[in-house]
Amino acid sequence: MKASTAKSFNKKLACPSSNLLLSFQRRALAPEINLLVKHHLAGCDFCYCEVPLLAFYALPLRGECRTPDLPINLRVLAESILGKDNSEEVPEPHFQR
């Protein structure tokens, strides 16, 4: 079979979002929307394959996404800049006439 005869296997504009498919997979959708997604899955290979994959998706736990530590050279730079600003008196802005 030539590749050009195969249907393109990718997400299309009409496809439901991965978030929606995730809700579908978790049976968290309203019955009407659930029916629409089911109808779409019958005709879309990509989404049909995405749903079982989403079963492996785990929501990030609270606090799991903490910000990374500041690299030490950036910290030194930031402290030198901020330290300088704090130690010096910031002159009051004055307007010339």
Least distance from Zn ion to the Cβ atom of residue 29, Å: 15
Angle between helices 18-25 and 31-43 (to 10 degrees): 110
d(CA 50, CA 44): 10
Q: Is 89 helix (H, G, I), strand (E, B) or coil?
A: coil
- Applying CB under 5 A, the residues found at the interface with Zn ion are 15, 44, 47
Least distance from Zn ion to the Cβ atom of residue 51, Å: 10
Q: Which is nearer to Zn ion, 38 or 75 (CB)?
A: 38
Least distance from Zn ion to the Cβ atom of residue 3, Å: 20
